[in-house]
């Protein structure tokens, strides 16, 4: 993640929820809004209702890797909060489906260039 900072503080997550514009997909829900930084800021949320720590960390790795693979196409100066939809069974998700879902959501938000 060259041009992205990971957020970890609770007050940052609350700010993202408050200010961000909401977009939803099959597996993911995303809050996006612009910042004044050169770098993007990324937050990932997976609820305890999804499963145990191993399952949650597995999903976070999927999301992080999906974002990393499309990072060059994503506009800069963004705050992005990605939330796993807790109603979705995590066993049904694969990396490629997660990546496609994230790509479609960011296209819907108008924050990604066309991928060739």
CATH of the domain at 58: 3.30.230.10
User: In this structure, is residue 116 part of a structural domain?
Assistant: no
User: In this structure, is residue 64 part of a structural domain?
Assistant: yes
Cα–Cα nearest to 60, from 79, 42, 78, 36: 42
pLDDT in tens, 63-114: 999 999 998 888 888 999 999 998 988 888 889 999 999 999 999 988 887 6
pTM for the structure as a whole: 0.90
8 A C-beta contact, residue 22 and residue 29:
yes
Q: Residue 70 belongs to what domain range?
A: 4-109
The count of domains in the chain is: 1
User: In this structure, is residue 60 part of a structural domain?
Assistant: yes
């Amino acid at each position: 993640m060259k041009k992205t900072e990971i957020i970890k503080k609770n007050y940052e997550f609350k700010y993202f929820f408050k200010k961000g514009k909401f977009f939803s997909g099959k597996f993911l829900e995303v809050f996006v809004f612009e910042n004044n930084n050169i770098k993007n800021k990324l937050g990932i949320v997976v609820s305890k209702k999804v499963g145990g720590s191993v399952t949650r960390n597995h999903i976070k790795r999927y999301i992080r890797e999906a974002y990393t693979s499309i990072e060059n196409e994503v506009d800069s100066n963004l705050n992005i909060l990605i939330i796993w939809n807790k109603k979705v069974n995590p066993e049904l998700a694969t990396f490629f489906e997660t990546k496609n879902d994230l790509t479609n959501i960011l296209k819907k938000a108008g924050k990604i260039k066309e991928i060739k």
